[in-house]
Chains A and B, each alone.
Chain A
Amino acid sequence: MFIKLQDGVKKYGQGDAQVYAMDKVRLDIDKGEICVILGPSGSGKSTLLNMLGGIDSMDSGVLLVDGRKVSGFSLKELTEYRRTDVGFVFQFYNLIQDLTVIENIQVVSDIAPNPLPIDSVLDSLGLRTLVHRFPTELSGGQQQRTAIARAIIKNPKLLLCDELTGALDSRASKEVLQYIEKVNETLGMTILIITHNAAISKIADRVIQIRDGKVVSNEKNNAKVRAEDLVL
């Protein structure tokens, strides 16, 4: 298993106000899979993503990623983990507004030990003509493609996408999902997409359903479709 999470627990608050954002979560994900984590708002999807990405730490449980015990990492090791092994794509892109498309990508390529060739990333995501534009000059879809380029330029083992189509219309969403598929096929990256939109789960190799901090199902998707065929 590429990702193995055993009894992951994350609590917030104390006493009667205590809430379990993750309640003994267990999951296994294979290398190279596109995995969709499905759940309503407040189900703990983002918390799970934060743990997998090394942004936050669990209160208890064991997380293994590519054989390494991420849950036992120090802060310094977590920084290195995010620097080299993990790429993030967020719902609202989180691009640096004072930098152009290419500069936002360079923010990551500059510190990555083995970055992908920037030209090929730009071409594969259709960003060549947009390189000198600032985020405010781009559409939502273009910004999200920039965010994807920034995330994959370091050639991470794991790409985490938090509601990556949440701010996009259906056409742009489909376009972005097609790029995600392409990235998975060409680079063999393991991709996790968290969403509340069940329609997106059809492109996944594995669908994990989460509710109230618990995993309610973890199934392989035997009826996988191409992103271009999705109805959103």
Chain B
Amino acid sequence: MPKILIADDDENISLLYKEELEEEGYEVEIAKNGRECLEKIKSFDPELIVMDIRMPEMDGIEALGRVIAGQKNVPIVLNTAYSSYKDDFRSWGADAYVVKSSDMSELKAVISQLISGKKPKRGKP
């Protein structure tokens, strides 16, 4: 079962994602912020990370940079309510950028593409 780590400070969203993704057959773990995400990468060893941007203690932009610099070669999906970060150079290390929506189909499609090793198309900012 592929393992997915969700980093989001909004518990309702994390639980919703966990439920939905488990139904899709993934094993899911939750981190409350970027710092916890970095710790859980070590213990949980995920195959993919869904990362919120605005989080307390350490935001998703810094956590993304640190995951890349630490050369944990794990795909990261930035998942935020704001599209404005898409233009930010610091977000360009992400493998995909999905704006939060009540409809999870885009996120699920991107996750499944990345886990199967296909690179989803990322429009030019």
Our verdict on whether A and B bind, yes or no, reads: no
* Chain B residues close to A by CB (< 8 Å): none
